[in-house]
Structure 1
Amino acid sequence: MPAPMRLLGLAIAFLLLVAACETQAAGIRRIRIEGSATGPLIVGAVWYPCATSVQDAGDGNVALSGVKDCPLAGEKLPLIVMSHGRMGWFGGGHDIAAALADAGFVVASIDHPNDNERNHSGTDGLEVFAGRSGDIKRLVDFMLADWPDAGHIDSKRIGLFGFSVGGYTGLVVIGGAPDFRKGLPRCARTDLRALPVCAQLENGELPREAPAHDPRIKAAVIIDPWPAFLLPADHLSGVTIPIQLWSSDPAHESDGVSGCCAAMIRDGLASKPEWHLVENANHFAFLAVCSPKLALDAPRICATPSGFDRAAFHERFQPEMIAFFRRTLNEARDH
């Protein structure tokens, strides 16, 4: 190689090294949304760009990558709100939240009341399926008005990330209208009729509060949304914003959730989403890589199919998600 080319290569390598060293770490700050007439107490955390080197902020069995209470770096930052799956928690996607924060996003994630890892009292019930969307709307309200660094958020660039029941939640927030009528056909299926929500609908019950929509959200990443039977095609007409829709592999459907629902939602949307089917991935492949202790304590969510590398998948998945949010939220801001 000629000397000038070698020098150019060294210069480029040096610049890339400097850029890597200057990459913003994720700051982490706990949040608490007090209970009120609009809903119960909500707890969670926010990941955000900060200018300090990466550290680990431990939380039980999970090492959350980031810097606790680091000063926020940046102005007019886009916001992503996250909704976890059935009996999940705000840190289930902590690596995704940190990656988004490293890329310049503020990311807010909560424990949904009555359907989280500590409180299952409303899991699979009508009030949770109706009320989760209101939790997300309250979270957006809090982040734009009451969070101490609210002035750093660009209110025109808000996105949503939803996994599993969080994917269903996200679809409701962005315009889906759940079908809560008595005699819902899918509830007649043997594997679904035992769900509390199906028993409640068969009894003619209706939720105390209507599901909430939030037009401030301009783009969504939706993963394996469940239960899709509450959102048939004719109840999805209000969903018009850009969606990146991910599905695990139906080959693993024997676990009851893998590959069950995303394709059904895709076919019911009038505006077709950006579609991703992840071969050989089970439903829980989208959650953060498990620590050794968590793998012992929660083998179902930590198990991966033979030949599937969850860590390697996240290295591919996260850039796709970040690129989608950057493109769609910048377009939303410019219109």
Structure 2
Amino acid sequence: MSLRALFAAASLAVAAFASPALADNAGFMVLRQPRAEGPPVEVGIWYPTKTTPAFMPLGSWGHTVAAGAPVAGEALPLIVMSHGNGGFFGGHADTAQALAEAGFVVAALTHPGDNYKDQSRATAMADRPAALSALIGWMLEASPLKAKLDPAKVGAFGFSSGGFTVLAAAGGKPDLGLVPAHCQAHPNDYACKLSAGRPIPADVLTAPWVHDPRIKAVVSAAPALGFAFGKDGLKGITAPVQLWKAADDEILPGDAYAEFVHRNLKRKHDYRVVKGARHFDFLTPCETAPVGGTQMLCASAPGFDRKAFHQTFNTEVVRFFSHQLVAPAKAAPKG
């Protein structure tokens, strides 16, 4: 089943304007990034502020933010966020809020052609790192927050298809020619069902992969198409990586995804396997009763506390980016 339907109820109609150690609260705004090849890209932005926040619904979940508040701090680190297939910019609102409260600016795009409204380019995977790199450029060079950002401190966070995206953008080189053989052996994997119904566009198979050296740290959660990097496709990644796997991932099962990345990433990295977690447990915990097909996004396994997990998850994501971008230390990351 396409995630387009699952995110149909998660749309947001909101219009708002928008030193790490000094930030207490999260501000929020939605901007539109211009692009020559199509309509503007919707971008949700969280950032540090001193203004008192309030709870704001965001689809089936929400965040506690000060909409349109002034930005606190200078030379702030930037984190760009890439959502999963059929998602939207707000899929990781609580993680973005936690990062903003820690002094980061977070810019999360709604991927053109792969979101809850539009699946026309859902399997055009080369589009994704290109869009993420374009977002970095726009944030640093043309966005209303450009004067507040430190261009030397850029990180990338991604989930599922977004987890694949950030690995590719940071230097990974996938081979989509590996997909047919994998899907012949594993036809029930979600990625294989998706590509069976919407084959990879021919132009993508020969398109160059956009790598962005401005990315200095990567968090990849439950990355899709991990196997597509092959044995050597991850060797171009030199940025530190924090990698997450849901132990009971029903969407990307087995060892061909996060586990494959773990085994073939050539550099030391921080690998976390979350016992009892399903694929969508990396999404923000739901605050309201899910509507229509979104139950799948909100449902955790019996006995798994998504809210408690996210307290740990957000703490560790903030810790990792702070360690790598704000105050790098000499200690080597976990293997």
TM-score calculated relative to the size of structure 2: 0.84
Secondary structure in structure 1 of the residue aligned to 2:154: strand
Amino acid in the other structure paired with 2:55 = D
The CA distance in 2 between the partners of 1:52 and 1:70, in whole Å, is: 6
- Does 2:322 correspond to 1:326? yes
Question: Contact conserved, 2:177 with 2:205, CA < 8 A, in 1?
Answer: no
Which residue matches 2:11?
A: none
Describe the superposition over 1:36-74 as per-residue Cα deviations: whole angstroms up to 9, x where unpaired. Answer: 14x653112100001111212334444332011101000
1:277 to 267, 273, 296: 273
Aligned pairs for 1:53-202 (under 5 A) are 53-123=52-122, 125=123, 127=124, 129-181=125-177, 185-191=181-187, 194-196=193-195, 200=199
Aligned pairs for 1:269-308 (under 5 A) are 269-294=265-290, 298-308=294-304
The CA distance in 1 between the partners of 2:23 and 2:148, in whole Å, is: 19
Amino acid in the other structure paired with 1:120 = Q
The CA distance in 2 between the partners of 1:180 and 1:32, in whole Å, is: 31
The CA distance in 2 between the partners of 1:142 and 1:183, in whole Å, is: 32
The CA distance in 1 between the partners of 2:197 and 2:232, in whole Å, is: 19
Question: Contact conserved, 2:84 with 2:161, CA < 8 A, in 1?
Answer: yes
Distance 1:332 1:135, change over 3 A: farther
Amino acid in the other structure paired with 2:48 = P
Q: What percent of counterpart residues are identical?
A: 35
Which residue matches 1:24?
A: 24
Amino acid in the other structure paired with 1:57 = M
Q: Name stretches of at least 5 consecutive residues in structure 1 with no aligned partner.
A: 1-21
Q: Post-superposition shift, 1:185? A: 3.1
User: Superposition RMSD on alpha carbons, in Å?
Assistant: 2.5
The CA distance in 2 between the partners of 1:242 and 1:107, in whole Å, is: 18
Secondary structure in structure 1 of the residue aligned to 2:176: coil
Secondary structure in structure 2 of the residue aligned to 1:80: strand
Distance 1:63 1:264, change over 3 A: same
Q: Post-superposition shift, 1:286? A: 1.0
Equivalenced residue count is: 305
Bigger radius of gyration? 1
Secondary structure in structure 2 of the residue aligned to 1:292: coil
Q: Name stretches of at least 5 consecutive residues in structure 2 with no aligned partner.
A: 1-21, 331-335
Which residue matches 1:243?
A: 241
Amino acid in the other structure paired with 1:101 = A
TM-score calculated relative to the size of structure 1: 0.84
The CA distance in 2 between the partners of 1:311 and 1:176, in whole Å, is: 32
